[in-house]
């Protein structure tokens, strides 16, 4: 494949209904510095200036709310919409169905608006070379493994925390998503790994948090404030 001609896609997965937020507004629509989280996230991919075609996967019942937000915020970043599925797996599959050309696709959580340009570029570049790229950071907490009625200590240095964007060759990920859904498909790396592919880890960033609680939203606001000062 000629790298120069490789098409670049990003599938932004916004399935969540935000129950953990204790809020009627789905978490991806909550405002961060006045702008819905999801718009921050989409803009991060558009701002990369490497010509990424963005596909937003959104549950059908949220489409009208999204359209209202787009009008209200004069949001002009081009986005194709796919319908959300029953699980994250089915949502990603619906997004993949919209990819027309071969290339590299990033799959990214809608509620990770703090992803850096560095991580985005590194993920596409590594996937171009190796077929996939998955950002990871060290696990700082002590963890224990639960086995039937007891728990055992495990060496945390042998584990890492996985983030998104996870990038893949479109050919590989489309083939991976032909498999039947399994409950242990918690991210795209797991699905692609089930094909027998070796997952390439790249450096993630502690700031690239997933916003799932009101406290996370405050953390995100602080990160943005600190970036504005720096």
**Per CB under 8 A, does 147 bind its own copies?**
yes
Q: How far lies 87's CA from each of 94, 107, 184, in Å?
A: 11, 15, 12
Instruction: Please give the Cα distance from 225 to 13 (Å, whole number).
Output: 26
**Per CB under 8 A, does 180 bind its own copies?**
no
Q: Which of 152, 178, 229, 230 binds its own copies (CB under 8 A)?
A: 152
- In DSSP terms, 81 is beta-bridged to 56
- In DSSP terms, 52 is beta-bridged to 8
Q: Select from 43-51, 64-72, 132-140, 172-180 the region that touches its own copies (CB under 8 A).
A: 132-140
Q: Select from 21-29, 58-66, 96-104, 180-188 the region that touches its own copies (CB under 8 A).
A: 180-188
Q: Which of 5, 24, 141, 228 binds its own copies (CB under 8 A)?
A: 141
Question: Which residues contact residue 114 at a Cβ distance below 8 angstroms, ignoring those fewer than 6 apart?
Answer: 40, 207, 208, 209, 220, 223, 224
Query: Is the Cα torsion angle 75, 169, 165, 118 positive or negative in sign?
Result: negative
Residues within the interface to its own copies (CB under 8 A): 134, 136, 139-147, 150-156, 158-162, 184, 186-187, 189-190, 193, 198-199, 201, 206-207, 210, 212-213, 215, 218-219, 222-223, 226
């Amino acid at each position: 494949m000629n790298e120069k001609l490789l098409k670049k896609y990003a599938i932004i997965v916004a399935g969540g209904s935000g129950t953990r937020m204790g809020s009627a507004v789905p978490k991806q629509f909550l405002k961060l510095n006045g702008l819905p989280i999801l718009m921050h996230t989409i803009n991060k991919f558009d701002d990369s200036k490497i010509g990424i075609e963005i596909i937003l996967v959104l549950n059908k019942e949220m489409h009208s709310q999204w359209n209202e937000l787009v009008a209200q915020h004069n949001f002009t970043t081009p986005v194709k919409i796919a319908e959300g599925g029953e699980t994250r797996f089915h949502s990603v599959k619906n997004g993949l169905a919209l990819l027309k050309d071969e290339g590299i696709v990033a799959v990214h959580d809608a509620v990770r608006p703090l992803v850096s340009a560095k991580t985005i570029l590194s993920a596409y570049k590594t996937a171009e070379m190796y077929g996939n790229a998955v950002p990871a950071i060290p696990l700082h907490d002590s963890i224990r493994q639960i086995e039937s009625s007891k728990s055992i200590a495990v060496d945390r240095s042998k584990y890492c925390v996985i983030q998104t964007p996870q990038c893949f060759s479109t050919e590989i990920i489309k083939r991976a998503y032909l498999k039947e859904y399994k409950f242990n498909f918690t991210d795209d790396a797991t699905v692609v790994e089930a094909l027998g592919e070796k997952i390439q880890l790249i450096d993630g960033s502690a700031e690239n948090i997933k916003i799932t609680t009101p406290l996370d939203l405050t953390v995100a606001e602080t990160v943005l404030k600190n970036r504005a000062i720096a």
